[in-house]
Amino acid sequence: MKELIGVDLDAEVLRDAFALAEVGAKSRVIVALTRLKPVLATKLYVHVNGRSAQPGQHPDSFTRFVRTIHQHFHSNYLYNIFEALQELGLPDSQVVLQAYRSYREQFKSSPKLFDVNEAYSLFALLRQPDVVKDCCDECNTAYFLEPFELALGSATCPCCRMVKRRQEVGPGESRQSVVA
Ligand SMILES: [Zn+2]
């Protein structure tokens, strides 16, 4: 590890940086979560994945995360894990890593909607001060809403929306295709 990086760094930072690269985190995300120098993060990504990261923008608004019932259901799952892990006092790198691993496990039998870079974008967006965080009176699930959604008056708990959607879809469509 030291041969790759060429300098002494905190072992936990390196461990998390490697783990992030292994699940596909791009250098920008590795840098943001571990404070590794950008040149080292890029080197690490190539070392772990055998190639450079695909170019592409990361979501900088909630649109990607709440546009459909499924997106909001998946992103709200991540939100709840983020909150739980933050309450434990874990560093941001561990919060994003563990939440993403949990998300992959939870949705492993259906196509996951978000990659680790998007999970990080959501994590960062949720820190914006105007994000509304609430708890559903019906199912007791904690959920987040973007201000625009709230202004439209269309704000409802993503879990209740998903249950309603399943009821509308009926037995003809499998549960898996509704959750995915
Ligand atoms: Zn609910």
CA distance 141 to 147: 19
Which of 67, 163, 54 shows the shortest CA–CA distance to 115?
54
What's the pTM? 0.85
DSSP string, 53-112: PPP-PPP-STHHHHSSHHHHHHHHHHHHHHHHHHHTT--HHHHHHHHHHHHHHHTTTS--
**How remote is the CA of residue 136 from the centroid of ligand 1, in Å?**
5
Q: How far does the centroid of ligand 1 lie from the alpha carbon of residue 17, in Å?
A: 36
Q: What is the pLDDT of residues 23-54, one digit of tens each?
A: 999 999 999 999 999 999 999 999 999 999 88
Distance of CA 115 from the midpoint of ligand 1 (Å): 25
129 C-alpha to ligand 1 centroid (Å): 23
pLDDT tens digits for range 106-146: 998 877 789 999 999 999 999 988 888 889 999 999 999 87
Distance 93 CA to ligand 1 centre (A): 29
Ligand 1: centre distance to CA 158 (Å): 7
Displacement of CA 69 from its chain's centroid (Å): 16
157: tokens are 């708990």
Residue 39: per-residue pLDDT: 94
Once rounded to an integer, what is the mean pLDDT over residues 8-32? 91
pLDDT at res. 145: 83
Residue 139 C-alpha to ligand 1 middle, in angstroms? 4
Helices and strands (H and E) in the chain: how many: 11, 2
